[in-house]
Amino acid sequence: MEKQNEIIRSVSSKKLFHYVLYTQLFLFLLSLLIGIILYDSFDAFLVILKVEPLYITAGALIGAAIVIADLFLMRMLPDHYYNDGGVNEKLFGSLNPFKIALLALCIATAEELLFRGVIQANSNLVIASLLFAVIHFRYLNHWYLTLNIFVLSFVIGAVFEWSNSLWTTIALHFIVDFLLGLYLLKKSKQLK
């Protein structure tokens, strides 16, 4: 954890923002490649891209409920339970709301395309959820953050099973990342 803290301190907020964007671009391209291999046709993929406003709204509301629960737990639990080595604080604390929204949209789209749209749609909830949690490896050295990401991953996977719509999970994931990003921005401003 100390080595990660050192690395985070040495990387500028701007570089960290770009690294996250590059990572999401890589995941997006990986999704396309694996999707081409796993899907028989583009029409088979289009099934999960159906736009259902009710499901998208439900995804956003579930995302908001997750954020409310997480903020409640942040107030109840000791600060070290949410210590990820300063990555999220450095990243979101340096952005304006528009950039937070842009980043949250990129993350939600790339990760949900890969983990729900490609992996879960062609395997199952457990495999997709475990892989989703594993790519958030920086949380894996902290038991609470590991539990948190596993639960979130399974909730998102269950929502995908229920809705069979990628837009629902993208909306959910976006709301979680965007609102928590705004919270970290506000917290950063209060500390300055």
Instruction: Determine the Cα–Cα distance for residues 28 and 15; give it in Å rounded to an integer.
Output: 20
SS3 assignment, position 142: coil
Average pLDDT, consecutive stretches of 10 residues, N- to C-terminus, the chain (192 residues)? 62 88 96 91 84 95 98 94 86 93 97 96 95 87 90 96 96 98 91 71
**What is the reported pLDDT for 43?**
83
**Is residue 180 a part of any domain in this protein?**
yes
Which residue carries 């999707």 as its tokens? 35
Asked whether residue 109 is assigned to any structural domain, the reply reads: yes
What local confidence, expressed as pLDDT, does residue 8 receive? 64
Q: Is residue 152 part of a domain?
A: yes
pLDDT at residue 2, rounded to an integer: 58
User: What does the pLDDT read at residue 7?
Assistant: 63
State the total domains in the chain: 1
In a domain, 165, yes or no: yes
Per-residue pLDDT, 189: 82
**Alpha carbon distance 108, 175 (integer Å):** 9
Examine residue 149 and state whether it is found in any structural domain, yes or no: yes
Quote the domain boundaries for residue 82: 11-29+53-191
Residue 2 lies in a domain: no
In 10 A of CB 61, how many CB atoms?
A: 13
Is the separation of the CB atoms in 101 and 21 below 8 Å?
Answer: no
Residue at 4 is within a domain = no
Task: Say what the pTM is.
Answer: 0.92
Would 42 be classed as within a structural domain? no
Chain centre to alpha carbon of residue 176: 7
